[in-house]
C-alpha cells in the first residue's frame, strides 16, 4: 500500500462506494426545533410544581417506546467506528498520517459529527491522537509495543486457557471448530481486516467459556490493539503469515480437547507473539 504524500495528509487512502456507505438519518433544522418555543406548560407539570418559570419553554417530546430515535444516532456512530477500525487494521488509515473528520465524513457519506465521535473513541483506545485544529493522527507503533501487548495477553489468558483445558468437555471444543475454519478461510483470501474480525470472534468464543464478562472486555481490547499494523502497513504480515496464524487455532482446539496443558501454554504464547 502506498503511503500518503504531503498533499494527501488529510485525505483517506481509499474510497467507499456510495451503495455501501452508511447514511445519517435526516436531522431537524434549528428553525424547526425552535418553532413553538412560546408554548406554555400545563399547570400541573413538574416544572410548575417547583415554582420554576416554564412559560417560555417547549415541552420535551416523549421518548419513543421502541427507542428508535436513540438507536439511529448510536447506530450511525457505531457503523462509522466499525468502518474506521477496519480501515486501521487494513492499513488504509496509515500510521503517522492526519485525517480530518469532515473529509472522512465525505468519504462515508455522513456529517463530521459521528466521525468525530468515533475518532474520539479511538483516541481513548490509543489508536489515534488528537491534533488541534487539524484532526486525528494515526498512532505510530513500534515492535516493542506489540511485544508488550503479547506479554500482557499471555499473563491474562494463559491461566484461563489452562483452566478451561482441565474443565471444558471435548464436545464444547468441537462446537468452536466452525469458527476456526472461518479464520482459515479469511486468511486464505489475504484480507487482513476480515481475518482480524474472525480472529477476534474465535478468541472471544474460547474465553466466553470462562463465564467472565470483564475478562472478555479486557481481552478483546488488548486483542484489537495487537491487530493495529506497524509502520509499513499490511505488508508487514502477508497472506502466508495469516494462514499460519489461522492454523494455530485448529492446533489449539486439538490441544484443548486432548487436555494437553503444555501444548496449550506454548501455543497460546506463540500465537500472541505472532499476532
Rg (CA), the chain: 24
Write down the pLDDT at residue 268.
93
- The residue ranges of the chain whose pLDDT is under 70 are 1-74, 231-237, 274-275
CB-based burial, 7-29: b 16+ in 10 Å, e otherwise: eebebbbeeeeeeebbebeeeee
Write down the pLDDT at residue 75.
84
Strand order in the sheet with 128-131: 98-99, 135-138, 128-131
- Identify which of 49, 129, 119 has the alpha carbon closest to the alpha carbon of residue 80: 119
Supply the mean pLDDT for the chain. Answer: 78
Evaluate if pTM is beyond 0.85: no
> In the chain, what is the straight-line distance between the N-terminal and C-terminal CA atoms, in Å?
20
pLDDT in tens, 6-65: 444 444 444 444 444 444 344 444 444 444 444 444 444 444 444 444 445 454 444 444
Fold adopted by 6-31+66-138: Arc Repressor Mutant, subunit A (1.10.10)
Fold adopted by 143-274: 1.20.120
Write down the pLDDT at residue 236.
53
Write down the pLDDT at residue 142.
85
- Helical packing angle, 213-227 and 143-167, nearest 10°: 140
* Residue 94 near residue 4, CB atoms below 8 Å: yes
Tell me how far apart the alpha carbons of residues 194 and 175 are, in angstroms, rounded to a whole number.
21
- For the chain, the structural domain boundaries read 6-31+66-138, 143-274
Amino acid at each position: 500500500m502506498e503511503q500518503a504524500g504531503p498533499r494527501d495528509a488529510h485525505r483517506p487512502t481509499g474510497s467507499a462506494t456510495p451503495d455501501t456507505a452508511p447514511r445519517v438519518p435526516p436531522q431537524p433544522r434549528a428553525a424547526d426545533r425552535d418553532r413553538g418555543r412560546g408554548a406554555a406548560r400545563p399547570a400541573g407539570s413538574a416544572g410548575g410544581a417547583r415554582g420554576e418559570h416554564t412559560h417560555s419553554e417547549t415541552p420535551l417530546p416523549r421518548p419513543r417506546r421502541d427507542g428508535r430515535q436513540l438507536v439511529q444516532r448510536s447506530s450511525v456512530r457505531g457503523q462509522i467506528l466499525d468502518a474506521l477500525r477496519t480501515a486501521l487494521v487494513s492499513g488504509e488509515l496509515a500510521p503517522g498520517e492526519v485525517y480530518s473528520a469532515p473529509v472522512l465524513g465525505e468519504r462515508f457519506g455522513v456529517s463530521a459529527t459521528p466521525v468525530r465521535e468515533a475518532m474520539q473513541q479511538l483516541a481513548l483506545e490509543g489508536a489515534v491522537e488528537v491534533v488541534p485544529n487539524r484532526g486525528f493522527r494515526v498512532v505510530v507503533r513500534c515492535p516493542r509495543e506489540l511485544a508488550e501487548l503479547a506479554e500482557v495477553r499471555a499473563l491474562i489468558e494463559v491461566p484461563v486457557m489452562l483452566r478451561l483445558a482441565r474443565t471444558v468437555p471435548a464436545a464444547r471444543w468441537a462446537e468452536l471448530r466452525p469458527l476456526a475454519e472461518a479464520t482459515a478461510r479469511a486468511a486464505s483470501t489475504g484480507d487482513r481486516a476480515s481475518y482480524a474480525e474472525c480472529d477476534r470472534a474465535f478468541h472471544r468464543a474460547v474465553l466466553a467459556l470462562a463465564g467472565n464478562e470483564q475478562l472478555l472486555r479486557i481481552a478483546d481490547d488488548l486483542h484489537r490493539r495487537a491487530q493495529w499494523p506497524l509502520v509499513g502497513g499490511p505488508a508487514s504480515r502477508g497472506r502466508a503469515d495469516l494462514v499460519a496464524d489461522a492454523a494455530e487455532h485448529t492446533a489449539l482446539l486439538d490441544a484443548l480437547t486432548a487436555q494437553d496443558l503444555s501444548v496449550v501454554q506454548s501455543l497460546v504464547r506463540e500465537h500472541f507473539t505472532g499476532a
